[in-house]
């Protein structure tokens, strides 16, 4: 019983107990997360579509993901798991990802595989992608650079990923998905909602294409 302890001793006791519980919980979570092998999870879950090195497969619409920011990847995996991404009836690619992510049962699983993906060396998507680079540069700097930075290198604090080197066909598909509400319309997808606003600030589909061509022309 602590009720009979002097006031200051009660405070010290309660503070100590709270600290112990918090420390124990954090330690337990850290231990649980550390026991998950991200490489094993990736190999058994992701490589069939995204490749053994995270290089992607444009033939099936799977982007190159090697070297992506772990925080961003974790957030996207969690969004697929919760249904705030990939649940739209016309999002066939998202539905495939939701099915794949379903095997990642815990936050620790998702964080571990995201960490492994971020550790992989970046592999730029091959192939040419042409467009009006002057218009693309103008539109990118007017609409996209405020979040994704001047060279599309991303801004982790804002939750904006790097865009350089990513499969341009995939990027264009995602911008169009934001524009038509296939992505970013869920009320729980705050960053997706911001992207939806930004994507719709581009004046037309030609400008979308030109922006992607401009991004593809930047060096990672």
* Domains of the chain listed by start with CATH number: 31-123 (1.10.760.10), 129-220 (1.10.760.10)
CA 173 – CA 171 distance, rounded (Å)? 5
Largest pairwise CA distance in the chain:
78
Using CA atoms of 217, 124, 56, 148 in order, give the dihedral in degrees to the nearest 10: -60
Cα(77)–Cα(41) distance, rounded to whole angstroms?
13
Q: What is the pLDDT at residue 1? A: 38
* Bridge partners for 62 per DSSP: 57
What global pTM score does this model have?
0.82
DSSP string, 52-67: TTS--BGGGTBPP-TT
The whole-angstrom separation of Cα 104 and Cα 38 is 11
Residue with tokens 């319309």: 185
The secondary structure of residue 146, as a DSSP letter, is: H
Alpha helix (H) residue ranges in 83-204 = 92-101, 107-119, 133-139, 145-148, 168-180, 190-199
**What pLDDT, on the 0 to 100 scale, is given for residue 219?**
84
Query: pLDDT tens digits, residue range 105-134?
Result: 999 999 999 999 999 999 998 878 999 999
Averaged pLDDT, groups of 10, the chain, 220 residues long: 41 37 36 70 94 96 97 97 95 96 94 97 90 98 97 95 96 98 95 97 98 93
Question: Residue 156, Cβ neighbours under 10 Å: how many?
Answer: 12
In the prediction, which pLDDT does 183 show?
97
């Amino acid at each position: 019983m602590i009720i009979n302890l002097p006031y200051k001793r009660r405070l010290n006791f309660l503070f100590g107990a709270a600290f112990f519980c918090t420390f124990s919980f954090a330690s337990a979570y850290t231990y649980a997360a550390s026991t998950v092998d991200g490489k094993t999870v990736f190999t058994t879950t992701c490589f069939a579509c995204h490749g053994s090195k995270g290089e992607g497969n444009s033939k099936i619409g799977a982007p190159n993901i090697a070297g992506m920011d772990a925080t961003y990847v974790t957030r996207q995996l969690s969004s697929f798991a919760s249904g705030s991404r990939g649940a739209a009836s016309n999002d066939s690619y998202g539905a495939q990802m939701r099915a794949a992510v379903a095997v990642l049962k815990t936050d620790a699983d998702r964080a571990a595989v995201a960490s492994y993906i971020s550790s992989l060396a970046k592999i730029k998507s091959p192939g040419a992608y042409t467009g009006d680079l002057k218009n693309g540069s103008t539109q990118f700097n007017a609409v996209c650079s405020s979040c994704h930075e001047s060279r599309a290198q991303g801004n982790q604090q804002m939750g904006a990923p790097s865009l350089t080197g990513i499969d341009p066909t995939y990027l264009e598909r995602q911008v169009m998905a934001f524009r038509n509400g296939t992505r970013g319309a869920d009320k729980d997808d705050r960053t997706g909602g911001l992207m939806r606003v930004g994507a719709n600030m581009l004046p037309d589909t030609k400008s979308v294409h030109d922006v992607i061509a401009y991004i593809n022309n930047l060096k990672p």
